[in-house]
Amino acid sequence: MPGLIEHTERYLPIRLFLSGELEAVNEILRRQLASDLPAVNELCRHVARYQGKMLRPTLTLLCGLAARPGSAGQVPEANHSLRVLAAVSEIIHMATLVHDDVLDESRLRRNAPTVNHLRGNEMAVLLGDYLISNAFHLCSTLDRPEINRRIGETTNELCSGELLQIHHRDDWSIDEPTYFAIIERKTASLISLCCRLGAEEAGADPAVADALAAYGSRMGVAFQIQDDLLDLIGEERVVGKSLGRDLEKGKLTLPMIHFFSCAGPTQRMEMLATLADTDAEAWPSRVRSLLLSSGAVTSAHDVAAGLVGEARRELSPLTESPARHLLDDLACAVITRAS
Amino acid sequence: MPGLIEHTERYLPIRLFLSGELEAVNEILRRQLASDLPAVNELCRHVARYQGKMLRPTLTLLCGLAARPGSAGQVPEANHSLRVLAAVSEIIHMATLVHDDVLDESRLRRNAPTVNHLRGNEMAVLLGDYLISNAFHLCSTLDRPEINRRIGETTNELCSGELLQIHHRDDWSIDEPTYFAIIERKTASLISLCCRLGAEEAGADPAVADALAAYGSRMGVAFQIQDDLLDLIGEERVVGKSLGRDLEKGKLTLPMIHFFSCAGPTQRMEMLATLADTDAEAWPSRVRSLLLSSGAVTSAHDVAAGLVGEARRELSPLTESPARHLLDDLACAVITRAS
């Protein structure tokens, strides 16, 4: 199975089942995006290379498995709606990656050139629009208006998070509540919805669906904190995408917010001098060493670890099952990943 | 009533009714786009200034009125679904304007600065996404999955038209069929859907809904030809938006395609020399004079006029009514407008 829980060897039958389901999800996604225009197909094939972790589809499917009432130990059945929902979440995510790369002027994603770098910003803006439109269209084929409505609510939330983030660009006094408001909207809202829809699709009790939505929300925030950490202190070769973009684009994330609240005056002045000269080749490594020595990296990581703990505790109302264990593993993997 | 048929004084009662309906549509649109983020509200208010003609909502409402079986002469009733559909079409249109202005690097729209000019490309890309998301969300509140599906199909079509256009950027041998394939997708598909949905919402016979969809499709193509003509030979002050962007962005439109097929060798060489030096201040006026003297403007206008004739003939299955007359007027206005 591709993705974050690839490394575990436990629960092989369920992992094999999930692996097959993710293949089926990808088939739905490919069919949905197929166009009569070869140029569009070529771009969609390129964007499919960005699909690494498939976190959102995996969560939709796993929550669908874990939340089935009284299903522990049973061999799961294929569920078309669940697969479609998983594909919809992945297409929405792909659209955000394509547009984010335009905004961040990124050149690299999953060790491949970004669409904007390869074909220009115009093509990337339009391809993102094409993906968003196809996500909504695919969702509407389920003939379940309430699902369309909730996906629409969540993408509204997601877009407003991105807008809030850009509104605070170059805001050097951004505080933690604002940072969390941004990432809860732009990242956690969709991840949480994936968990909830997966659970509801499986006929879960409302309390279980709520618990899984809360699990997704906490782990989504932790996931974004780890992303923000990797942007500052990751290895570009390992992460596979352009790094240091947040600072270059004036986006202050949790490690930086912690730095400015916990660093001494000398460190602070050194950081400001470093950031004032991002043309210098060595600036990323100087930022990294300042973040590490100040304790800001550790404290941001601790916040993420605390959220992962909360996410795992949300799983307690679920019956013991391999799927529940995988959800637990997944929450842990979110903050130990190096890419 | 704002828009294209403002100038006519006929059918006052129906015009007053439409005017009130468009106000109600705008109220739905404003409520839908309202955010808890003041920065988003400010941008949405700015984009609302682009709403000039409100062609798509007007068509949705008018087709809804004209297609009601056996309704000639009756006072129409307010129809919430029709208003929502009208608002959805306008929000989709607003999103395309915001993203188009990014692609075209335009600075002016309806005599106001574009979002990209005012707040940068990033904000404009995200605001466009916010609008698309809200259009789908608003549509889903109707609880009518088939409508979501058709809107999704149409926006897929719209995006693929834009992608096809950009794929043919700087293609100096683009032919008429390709030009028409582009504008049928990017412009006529949504206009046609507005007419069809308006008709179907009113309970029209399938033949009448088909006729109105065909009317919308023809007039949509004519509308885009007129837009493309204005970009080449309009007055920026009157049109209210940045002109000459198509050529600067390597988009060859019908007048230019006609020019290259009908101009003599001297005119052709003069055009190529002019286009090779778009830094020269006088290039737009030289292009304009070449297009006019070659007959390319007249022949492109004739094609649009032919399509308007076809659109008007599609109205023949409809019962005689003020709404039908206004649809007829509207088709004519599409190619006589100077902005």
Q: How far apart are CA A298 and CA A278, in angstroms?
A: 24
User: Which bin fits B3, alpha (ψ -120 to 50), beta or left (φ > 0)?
Assistant: left
Residue A5 lies in a domain: no
Between strands B112-113 and B108-109, the pairing is antiparallel
Residue A273 lies in a domain: yes
Over residues A183-190, mean pLDDT: 97
Collect all residues of chain A within an 8 Å Cβ-Cβ radius of residue B159. Answer: 126, 129-130, 133
How many CA atoms, within 13 angstroms, populate the side-chain half-sphere of residue B336?
9
Q: How far apart are CA A286 and CA A307, in angstroms?
A: 29
Query: Which string of b and e fits B315-333 if b means at least 16 CB within 10 Å?
Result: beebeebbbbbbbbbbbbb
Q: What does residue A12 show for φ and ψ, rounded to 5 degrees?
A: -55, -45
pLDDT for B2 = 46
CB contact under 8 A, B134 and A152: yes
Q: How far apart are CA B299 and CA A318, in angstroms?
A: 71
Q: How far apart are CA B148 and CA B129, in angstroms?
A: 17
Between strands B112-113 and A112-113, the pairing is unpaired
- Token representation of residue B241: 């938006």
Out of A69-78, A130-139, B290-299, least confident range: A69-78
Q: How far apart are CA A215 and CA A192, in angstroms?
A: 7
CB contact under 8 A, A141 and B149: yes
Contact of B208 with B317, CB cutoff 8 Å: yes
Domain that holds residue A281: 12-336
What number of other Cβ atoms are within 10 A of residue B338's Cβ? 9
Give the CA angle between residues B334, B336, B339 to the nearest 5°.
75
Contact of A136 with B133, CB cutoff 8 Å: no
Residue A71 lies in a domain: yes
Q: How far apart are CA A146 and CA B142, in angstroms?
A: 10
Residue B148 lies in a domain: yes
Instruction: Please give the share of chain B, as a percent, with pLDDT higher than 70.
Output: 93
pLDDT level of residue B338 (50, 70, 90 thresholds): confident
Collect all residues of chain B within an 8 Å Cβ-Cβ radius of residue A166. Answer: 122-123, 126
Q: Look at chain A and report how many structural domains it folds into.
A: 1
Residue B5 lies in a domain: no
Residue B113 parent element (H or E): strand B112-113
- DSSP category for residue B39: H
Q: How far apart are CA B215 and CA B204, in angstroms?
A: 15
Q: How far is CA B70 from CA B10, B64, B195, B319, B321, in A?
A: 22, 13, 18, 8, 10
Evaluate if residue B142 carries a pLDDT over 60.
Answer: yes
Q: How far is CA B208 from CA A129, B198, B221, in A?
A: 32, 11, 20
Q: What does residue A4 show for φ and ψ, rounded to 5 degrees?
A: -70, -25
Residue among B153, B183, B192, B190 at smallest CA distance from B165: B183
CATH number at residue A144: 1.10.600.10
Collect all residues of chain B within an 8 Å Cβ-Cβ radius of residue A40. Answer: 160, 163
Evaluate if residue A333 carries a pLDDT over 90.
Answer: yes
Give the CA angle between residues B201, B204, B207 to the nearest 5°.
130
pLDDT, tens digit, 9 for 90 and up, residues B117-130? 888 888 899 999 99
* Best residue in A41, A121, A140 for a mutation probing chain B (most B CBs within 10 Å): A140
pLDDT for A8 = 56
Task: Chain B: give the shortest CA distance to residue A72, in Å.
Answer: 34
DSSP string, B283-316: HHHHHHHHHHHHTHHHHHHHHHHHHHHHHHHTTT
Contact of B303 with B254, CB cutoff 8 Å: yes
Over residues B36-42, mean pLDDT: 88
Q: How far apart are CA B73 and CA B14, in angstroms?
A: 10
With a CB-CB cutoff of 8 Å, which residues 255-314 of chain B face chain A? none
pLDDT for A4 = 63
Nearest to A123 among B102, B127, B166 (CB): B166
Task: Chain A: give the shortest CA distance to residue B329, in Å.
Answer: 33
Residue B3 lies in a domain: no
- Calculate helix-pair angle for A145-167, B38-48, nearest 10 degrees: 100
Q: How far apart are CA A192 and CA A214, in angstroms?
A: 7
Instruction: Please give the share of chain A, as a percent, with pLDDT higher than 90.
Output: 63
- Token representation of residue A158: 């997601």
Which residues have CB under 8 Å from A178's CB, separation 6+? A164, A168
pLDDT for B47 = 86
Evaluate if residue A2 carries a pLDDT over 70.
Answer: no
How many CA atoms, within 13 angstroms, populate the side-chain half-sphere of residue B128?
31
Nearest to B140 among A128, A130, A149 (CB): A149
Evaluate if residue B77 carries a pLDDT over 80.
Answer: no
Out of A191-195, A218-222, B111-115, B220-224, least confident range: B111-115
CB contact under 8 A, B162 and A126: yes
Strand partners, B108: B113
Specify the pTM: 0.92
More confident position, B133 or B279: B133
pLDDT for A75 = 57
- Token representation of residue A210: 């709520």
CB contact under 8 A, A133 and B155: yes
pLDDT, tens digit, 9 for 90 and up, residues B235-288? 777 777 666 778 888 889 999 999 999 888 999 999 999 988 877 778 888 999
- Three-state DSSP state, B108: strand
- pLDDT averaged over every residue in chain A: 89
pLDDT for B1 = 40
Contact of A154 with A112, CB cutoff 8 Å: no
Residue B6 lies in a domain: no
User: Which bin fits A12, alpha (ψ -120 to 50), beta or left (φ > 0)?
Assistant: alpha
Nearest to B148 among A123, A145, A164 (CB): A145
Out of A28-32, A248-252, B133-137, B255-259, least confident range: A248-252
Residue among A321, A17, A26, A332 at smallest CA distance from A199: A321
- pLDDT averaged over every residue in chain B: 89
- Three-state DSSP state, A241: coil
Over residues A298-306, mean pLDDT: 97
Evaluate if residue B67 carries a pLDDT over 50.
Answer: yes
Residue A96 lies in a domain: yes
Q: How far apart are CA A152 and CA B129, in angstroms?
A: 12
Query: End-to-end alpha-carbon separation of chain B, Å?
Result: 17
- How far is residue A279 CA from its own chain's centroid? 30
